[in-house]
């Protein structure tokens, strides 16, 4: 797992668009609760926007 912390006001879909652009991919499931960007076989990027002052979630 990789955690990226961005100190800019962006939406989840905006962040995924940047990841998709950088990885030459596309955002999937945009109209669901779990949009993501495929980045390899059985691998994808997700974005979690924490509530104000919450640290990034550790999902490992």
In this prediction, residue 49 carries a pLDDT of 76
Q: Is the pTM of this model over 0.75?
A: no
Q: Which two tokens stand for residue 4?
A: 């990226």
In this prediction, residue 56 carries a pLDDT of 60
In this prediction, residue 10 carries a pLDDT of 85
Instruction: Give tens-digit pLDDT for 5-59.
Output: 777 888 889 999 989 988 899 999 999 989 999 998 999 999 887 776 666 666 5
Q: How far apart are CA 40 and CA 38, in angstroms?
A: 6
| DSSP state for residue 48 in the 8-state scheme | -
Closest CA to 50 of 20, 5, 18: 5
In this prediction, residue 3 carries a pLDDT of 72
Query: What are residue 8's phi and psi, to 5 degrees?
Result: -135, 150
Distances from the Cα of 36 to the Cα of 1, 14, 58, angstroms: 14, 12, 18
């Amino acid at each position: 797992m990789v955690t990226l912390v961005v100190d800019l006001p962006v939406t989840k879909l905006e962040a995924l668009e940047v990841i998709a652009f950088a990885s030459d991919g596309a955002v999937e499931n945009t109209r669901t609760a779990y949009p993501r960007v495929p980045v390899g076989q059985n691998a994808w990027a997700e974005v979690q926007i924490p509530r104000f002052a919450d640290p990034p979630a550790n999902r490992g």
